[in-house]
Structure 1
Amino acid sequence: MTTTIYDPPGGWRHGFPRVYNPHPGETLEDTLVRDGYPEKEAGIGAKYCRFWEEKEAAQ
């Protein structure tokens, strides 16, 4: 199984990278703000956000 991780510009200051887990109907900007990214920077954060997949370790 894989997990999607996302990281907006300067995200390290706000606890990113994080698991990307949007709510139904939620925009990327909404998800960023809900996860702690500043609302005033959400537009640029969404535009330049990086995404990648990580495999979960087998247990």
Structure 2
Amino acid sequence: MIYKSLPKSVGLRRITLHKSVSSGDKLYLLLVECSNFLQDLSAAAVLIPALRARLCGYTGLY
């Protein structure tokens, strides 16, 4: 429930889930696009650890 944990001030634009089409292991990429995410660093500080706790993989802020 990423969209519920983000404050409106971060300006959520889109949440996109990409899945690999190759055979074998499945790879997923979750993109969360926000227009003002870095303006509210407290939201970033809360969301990034929450994503790490729920997902197996790498989490970054770009």
- TM-score norm. by structure 2 comes to 0.30
Determine which structure has more spread, i.e. the larger CA radius of gyration.
2
